[in-house]
Each structure stands twice: as structure tokens, then as C-alpha cells.
Amino acid sequence: MACALSGWSLIVGLIGAFVCLPLLLRWIDIRGWSILLLIGALVGGAVHWEWNDARNRSSLPDIKHTAAEDLDGYAATFEGTLMSDVRIDGDRADFEMLATSMLPLSDASTATVSEAGTAPNVRERLMVQVRLAEEEEQQVAAGWKRGDSITLTGALTLPGEARNFGGFDYRNYLRTLHIHWLFKVKGASSVTTVPPEGLGKLNILRWNDIVRHKLGAAVERIFPEPHAGYMKGLIIGMANDIDPDTYGQFSQLGLTHILAISGTHVAVYVASLLLLLSWLRLTRETSLTIVLLLIPAYVLLSGGSPSVIRAGIMSMIGLYMARRGLARDGLQMISAAALLMMWWNPYFLLSVSFQLSFLVTAGLMIYMPLINRIFSSWPKGLAATASVTVTAQLISFPVTILYFNQFSLLSFVANFLLVSLISAIVLPLGTVALFLSFIWMPLAKPLAWIAIMLNKLTFVSVEWMNSLPGFVLIWATPSLLWIAAYYAVLYALLRVLHRGRGDQPAVQGTEEDTAPLNRRYVGGAPKAALGLSGLSNVSSQGLNKGGREASPGSMTTLSASIAWPEYTSAFAARGAGFYSGERMNVFHKWMCALLALSFVVELWWAYRTPQPAGTGVVQFLDIGQGDSTLITTPGGKHILVDGGGTVQFGKSEQSWKTRRDPYEVGAKVVVPLLKKRGIHRLDAVIVTHADQDHAGGLQAVLEQIPVERFMFNGTTSGTANFEKLLDTAIDKQIPLYAIRQGMSYSPDGETRLHFIYPDLEKAKDTGERLPVSEHQNHDSVVFLLEMAGASLLFTGDMDAAAEQDLLFMIQDGSLAASFGQYDADAALADGTVQEMFTRHSGENHKEVPVTIDVLKVAHHGSKTSSTEAWLQYWNASASVISAGANNTYGHPNPGVLDRLVKSGTEIYRTDRMGEIQMRIKDGEIDVCYKLRMDES
């Protein structure tokens, strides 16, 4: 609660929680001192969060006696300690450092330390980004290690904040890591490191980094790409080297949890160690103690993600309890792990990995006993796997759509078929091959070959399932209230369904399945508890030297690890089969139908695209230096005008600079925003012209979002990227429309797009598939949007000559004669442009409007457009300029801004205001924008 609220909102929330507390306590039957402990825990958690959050601030503004914004771009030399592993990707090396002193620079360009400068003591954590100048500097950066004393010269930069509504907030993310500044350095020559002397507290982590890199290098020697990166992620948690395309394929099917070290890996690790120690004939107590002490080493070696920390803590608690002959409720153990982690770092709560790990684990404890009986008629092994898969998918679904806004219906099938293959066969094969490679490489190769064959089978299966159309559903970001209602209704539905299967045996039919967990154990826990049937035959007797029987209170080898405690009951004395002898009566049947209907309605409510009734919305996205506008009509139709784009390195000699997953604005910004807003389908994509900063991002849009029609100016730039975009549209059977003056498009009754440029009469039939135009800006698609009583003019990158042409056609009446004259229906078929027009009746013709409400300023406010005559004619009430913050082109041009000011229009700029949204209803326009306007 303290995480989500602050100030008076937090106080009101706490009061509401205490009002509801008596009902909760009555339902879960908590009495006596437990009530006070619960209240104390709630208050203590809120206070702990607020205390940590209040202290999480930068010290640099106080040291320099200035505002943080004034330090943006401040050149300095910092000294401190390198605090993380160095990540090298193309021409950039990233790492974290703890700065302990700061020297201001007299001249950032010469990077010399000012003689008058002082070196005040600071304690500031920085995210350092070193732009490598030469390819050889990659090897230099590889020599920087955690714990090194480091001195470097560069410039402070404030991390970027979310510039679009619902967009990723990098500044807030870094704040959860206690980082408030980026420090940008030019060249490895600006960095000096000195290895630490003696033993320091970072030495363990430094040695761990070295071991991880050696293991990663060994994996690369055993496996070729793309298997090497995949196996590094699978075995040692080095997910940064996984092929981006492979990761994307796994992500779409909800399989990325396989690539994150988690409870599955810890369970296999613990079980393998216990099995090995049993073969060595060590006593039970000694074996459990050894494994308990080795778990932290595995947590470190695997990268220390929140999911593996959770599994490690729970395993250690479970092993300790087994060592003492005790057992505890799994929910108590997971709660203890959560409290320990959040006491150490409250910001773990905001980690997606933390949320998914704890939710799925707790969900398996609570929901799986209710789902088990659904598969009671299946063979035991398949039933256990199906129960785990269905439960995990149902529990993770709300968090998945909360953060990723998509869910594949094939995720159930993919997890059922592939998770067991990967975790039970590929993971052990890869691990054994890795360690055999240090003994004798020929021993490792056969195992690696088997793993590679299975990987190929996995990759082909994943690619095939992703190629099937219609299974990936896009979901708008749900509210926390909806998520809570989802879990409540799902639980109630499963409880009622549980009654109706009372005469059928449960999947796990032993007495221990329903035994209370808050008492001393007598005998072992069920062997299937970990879902590792291949290892579950290791008995507790095997852990006792000399074959002695286990003492009362002992646990079996695998259940002792408690790496997956979710398979044990969470219902105390009632157990999972509390209702196993009851039958459904009429009331419960009606209750089941009502809950099922509620569940379906709840899913529909989340799936629908949020849309204010009768309101049109025009969203000018901030995609940096480029253009992209999303139009949502009052009837719920969606039109995307341009998609931005990112310029890539074109020279082969600079290929070393290319990142593993290069930043592309379409895939990183536009598509995620469309998904967050629940855009299931685009009724039209309009690309005003073929320049990369307008058309480049549409490649990702066409690949991931269904599109009904694709409209463009009927020419191509001749570039490979635009040709690929057109080919993608053709391959996906998206109709292509060559836009010309006089065409129009009406997505609904309150919206109409009138296309007024390029000029149809000037188009020549060259006989080519598509004519190549070197004047894409001049040939930009220009259209007038009339929606809900308002008018907006979109101009692309049209130049002054195009503006003059249009004004001339308006003056001589030729534009009015064709205004709204044709329905656009020019489709690309058989590689040629076929133009087919349907003439409107005369009464549908109208005059070109003299004034408009909103002008989309051409070419990002460049000096080549927006002439005085053009602005005077349209006399727009408001003007929108799409330009990148601090762009190198100097957009918008000062002269253009002066002309706009003189015209009396209100100016909105994405470079200063972020995304700009205009909500239109009954001719009224309500404007909001993401960032605070910089009046300077």
C-alpha cells in the first residue's frame, strides 16, 4: 500500500485497510496476539517503505547547491568504485559505480580538471555509459572488473522519464536501483581503473563475476550460436547473450520463465546435491547442512535475480526445518522469504521477476489443490504436469497482461509440452556437459549434441506455434482492482467446482497430501511434491550412513529442499480434499454458473479497448525525431499515421557498433504503446512518405498488430527498408492503397479523412511496379481529418513548394472540385497498382475549409515548410510540432516558431511536452500532455 500511495492517499488507504481488517480476521480466523502482530506488520511495512523511499534521493544537487535540472549536462570527473559487472554491447559499455569524490571541469570539451575545482566527498551511485571509440576498446572495457577503483571523465545526464502516457519510465526504474544519474563518457581513454588491494567486501562478487564469465566462455566452446546464448541463459542465468529473435519467440508464448533461474533450477540443484551426497554415504544431517550452506553459492553463481533469491531462501528454510525434523506451512515460508527480501530492499516489490515468482509460487500452493481433481482421470505423471501448467498460467495471466499486454492461447500447450523437456532433459544435459568440458572436452560433446538436437526441436516448435494466426491476444493494461477481482472470482469458482468432483480420486492420493503442515512430520512428504519423478525415488533412508532408517520427523530428499513447496497443501487441517465427500446441490450449481459468467464478463471487460463513448482521441506520440500519430474515432476505429523510425549504421566497417538488440522505435515505443492501450487491430495505417523517420517503425507494427489497410503516396524511396515494409504488407495480405488528391476514407459515421495531396492529375503511369521518388517530402500524403465536429490537417513532411501548389489549387478552385470526390480503393495486386474510384454524388462535394482547429506542422518545424502564406490561409487555432528532444537538426526552426506565434496559433511540441492527446467531442477539444511545459 505504501508502495502505491503516499501522503494523504496513504493515510486514507491505511484507514480503509483497518476498517476492512475485522472482516478479514473473522474470515481467516486470526485471534489474540496474532492480530497485533498482523497490525504491527502492516504499519511497520508502510513505515519501512516510506523511510527508505524518503532517503532515496540524489546528494549532488545539495552538494552543488542547485536544482537537479541545472546539473543535466554538467561535466565532471568522478572517482569511486566499480560496483557491477561490465556489460559490453556494440560500441557501448555499461556499469554501475559508487562515486566517492567529484571534480568539476572548467571545459567539458578539453576534459581537463580545473585547478580551482574542489573534490567534495560524495556518495552517489551512477549508471555509467561509455561510448567506445574504436573496436579495440571492447577488449579494454572487458578488463574492467567489479571492485576496481575507477576514475572517469564525462557528463552527468538525467535519465529519461516516460514521455508517453503508459510508457516506460527509465528514470523511475533506475530510482528503484538507487541510481539518479547517468554519467556519459566518450571513449575508454577517459576511464582509468586500478584493481583492489587485499580483501574487500566486493571481492566475493568480483570472483563470482570471473567464474560466471569462465563458465559462459566454456558454454560458447561447447555450443555454437544461437545455442550458446540460449544455454548460457538456461544454465547460469546469463540472459543478455540470448538471441533477441529467440527471446522474442519465447516471450510471445510465455516461455521466458524457462530462461530465468528460478525454483525449477534450485530444485534440480538441491536434488542433485542430495543424491550425490547420499551416494557418498553421508549422514542425513550432514547432507542437509552441506546443501544448505551451498545454496547461497548457487544463488550468486546464477546471477541473483529475485526469483532465484526467493527459491534459495525458501530452500534454506526448508532444509533447516528438515534438519530439525520440522515442517511448516508453505505460505509461512514464502511469507518469510518475502519479508526478508523486502526488509533488505523494499524496491524488490516493484520487480516483475519478484512479483511473478511469489505470485506463481503462492498460487500453486493455494489454487493447485483445487485444480488437481480436474485432471484426476489422467495418468498420474501427465496429471501432475497439467495441473502445474494450468495453475501457473492462470495465476501469472494478470501480471503477464499488466506488464506485457499480450497473452498467447498456445501458452498452455507450449508450457505443457516444452517446460518438462527443457527442465528435465536439456537443462541437466547442458549442466553435465558444461562440467565435463573442464575434465575432457570429448566427453562433453556427445551430451551437447543431444542438447542441440532438442534445442532445434524446441526452436522449430516455438516458431511454428508463433506462426499460427489468431492465438496472440492483446490486452489493455488492467487496474489493480481488476487483478484482485480476478483472483477472488477464480478462487471462488474453483472452490465451487471442487465440490462437484468429490467422488473422484485426487491426483495425489496419499495421506500426506492432506496432512496438516503445522505439526511435526512423521515420515516423508509425497515424492511427487517436486514434480521430478525421475529423482523422487531417493528415499530418506539413503541419506543415513549405514542404511539406518530415518528418525521420526524426517523428510524425503527432494521434499526437504522445499524448492517447490507450492505442491503441498495450504489449507491446514482441512487439507486439499476438505470438500472431497460433498456433492453439488442446486444452489451450488447456480453459484457455479454465476461465478463462471462473472469470470467470463471480467475477462471481456479487461480485453475490450477502453474508449470514452462518443469521443474521438488524437494522440501525437513522442517517438523522438520522427512522426507517429494514433487516431481513435468516436466509433472505436483506430488509424495510425506514420510510425517513426531509427537510423541504423550503414557502413560495414562500423558493424562492430551494432547492438545485439538495436534500438528501434517501432518495436520499443510504438508497438508497446498500442498494446498498452488495447489496440487489437488497426483499421488503417497511413504512411505519409517513405522516409525512415516516418515509415521505419511501421515494420514492427505490421509484424505484431493486425492491420486492415495500408495507405501511402503510391511511390517508393527505393530503400531496402521501405521495400521490406511493402513486402511484409503483401505477405500478410494487407490491401495497399495509393493515395491521391480527391480520395476520402470514412471509418465511421462521425469521421472522414479527405486526402488533398499528392495531386492525382500529376501522377504518371510509368509501367513500373511502383515509381521511385527522390522527393518524398514533397510527395507527402496530406489529409484533412474531420471528426466529432473538429478539423485537423496532417501534412507529413511536405515542403514549401507543395504548400504553394496546394494554395494555388485552392485559389483556382481545382482542389474544391475534387474535394471528397472519390472513395480510396487503389489496391496493390499482382505487383502493380490498380486504381479504382467510385464517384460520389454531387451533393457530397464541399468547399475546402478556410480555417481549421489543429494544424500538424510539416517536417518537424523545419525551415523548409510552414510558410507565412500557408499559416495565414489555414489560420489554425492550435499547431502541433513533432520533434525529438535536443535533436541534432535544430527542429523546430526558430523562424518557423516566430511565424507560428505571429499567426496567433497555440503551439504544442512533443520535444518539450511529450505525448500530446486531444480528446474531441461535439466540436470541443480537450488537450493534455505528458510532461511539464518548459517555459524557457
814-823 pLDDT per residue, tens? 776 666 555 6
Residue 116 has pLDDT above 50, yes or no: no
At 504 the pLDDT is 47
Say if CB 307 and CB 322 are below 8 A apart: no
CA separation (Å) from 903 to 144, 184, 870?
57, 41, 10
Percent of the chain having pLDDT more than 70?
79
- Number of other CB atoms surrounding residue 20 within 10 Å: 10
Distance CA(807)–CA(818), nearest Å, equals 14
Query: Is residue 623 classed exposed, middle or buried when 0-12, 13-18 and 19+ CB atoms within 10 A define those classes?
Result: buried
> Which CATH number is 616-647+661-764+772-929 given?
3.60.15.10
Residue 484 has pLDDT above 90, yes or no: yes
Q: Which grid coordinates belong to 825?
A: 480503393
CA separation (Å) from 409 to 226, 248, 493, 501?
27, 16, 21, 26
Phi and psi of 538, rounded to 5°? -80, 115
Which residues, other chains included, contact 590 with Cβ-Cβ below 8 Å and sequence gap of 6+? none
At 693 the pLDDT is 92
Q: Which helix (H) or strand (E) holds 306?
A: helix 306-324
Q: Which residues of 595-621 are buried (b: 16+ CB within 10 A; e: fewer)?
A: beeebeebeeebbeeebeeebbbbbbb
Check residue 160 and report its DSSP letter: P
Mean pLDDT of 848-858: 86
At 17 the pLDDT is 64
At 198 the pLDDT is 75
Give the largest CA-CA distance in the chain.
106
Distance CA(188)–CA(506), nearest Å, equals 63
Q: What is the distance of C-alpha 416 from the center of its chain?
A: 24
pLDDT single digits (tens) 901-927: 999 999 999 999 999 999 999 999 999
At 28 the pLDDT is 61
Per-residue pLDDT band at 871 (split at 50, 70, 90):
very high
Q: Out of 41-50, 142-151, 420-429, 596-605, which region has the weakest mean confidence (pLDDT)?
A: 41-50
Torsion of Cα atoms, 278 then 280 then 281 then 285, to 10°: -60
CA separation (Å) from 302 to 138, 236, 311, 317, 566?
24, 5, 12, 19, 22
Q: Out of 533-537, 652-656, 863-867, which region has the weakest mean confidence (pLDDT)?
A: 533-537
At 215 the pLDDT is 94
More confident residue, 57 or 810: 57
Phi and psi of 364, rounded to 5°? -65, -35
More confident residue, 882 or 654: 882
Mean pLDDT of 528-553: 35
Say if CB 444 and CB 381 are below 8 A apart: no
CA separation (Å) from 796 to 598, 746, 802?
47, 20, 11
Percent of the chain having pLDDT more than 90?
56
Distance CA(359)–CA(241), nearest Å, equals 27
| Conformation bin of residue 547: beta by default, left when phi > 0, alpha when psi is -120 to 50 | left
3-state SS string over 333-386?
A: HHHHHHHHHHHHCHHHHHCHHHHHHHHHHHHHHHHHHHHHHHHCCCCHHHHHHH
CA separation (Å) from 560 to 273, 281, 545, 550?
12, 17, 17, 13
3-state SS string over 800-853?
A: HHHHHHHHHHHHHCHHHHHCCCEECCEEEECCEEEECCCECCHHHCCCCCCCCC
Per-residue pLDDT band at 648 (split at 50, 70, 90):
low
Residue 505 has pLDDT above 50, yes or no: no
CATH architecture of the domain with residue range 60-197: Beta Barrel (2.40)
Q: Which helix (H) or strand (E) holds 141?
A: helix 137-142
Do domains 60-197 and 616-647+661-764+772-929 share one topology? The answer is no
Say if CB 725 and CB 710 are below 8 A apart: no
Distance CA(829)–CA(456), nearest Å, equals 37
Mean pLDDT of the chain: 82
**Residue at grid coordinates 526504474:** 173
Rounded to two decimals, the pTM is 0.85
Handedness of CA 538, 543, 549, 555 (dihedral sign): negative
Torsion of Cα atoms, 106 then 108 then 110 then 113, to 10°: 40
At 818 the pLDDT is 63
Per-residue pLDDT band at 571 (split at 50, 70, 90):
very low
Domain boundaries, the chain: 7-55, 60-197, 616-647+661-764+772-929
CA angle (18 as vertex; 17, 20 as ends), nearest 5: 65
pLDDT single digits (tens) 249-288: 999 998 888 887 878 788 888 888 898 899 988 888 899 9
| Conformation bin of residue 269: beta by default, left when phi > 0, alpha when psi is -120 to 50 | alpha
Which residues, other chains included, contact 335 with Cβ-Cβ below 8 Å and sequence gap of 6+? none
Per-residue pLDDT band at 681 (split at 50, 70, 90):
very high
More confident residue, 42 or 704: 704
**Residue at grid coordinates 489493480:** 480
Phi and psi of 929, rounded to 5°? -140, 160
CA separation (Å) from 546 to 45, 282, 299, 536, 543?
49, 9, 32, 21, 9
Per-residue pLDDT band at 328 (split at 50, 70, 90):
low
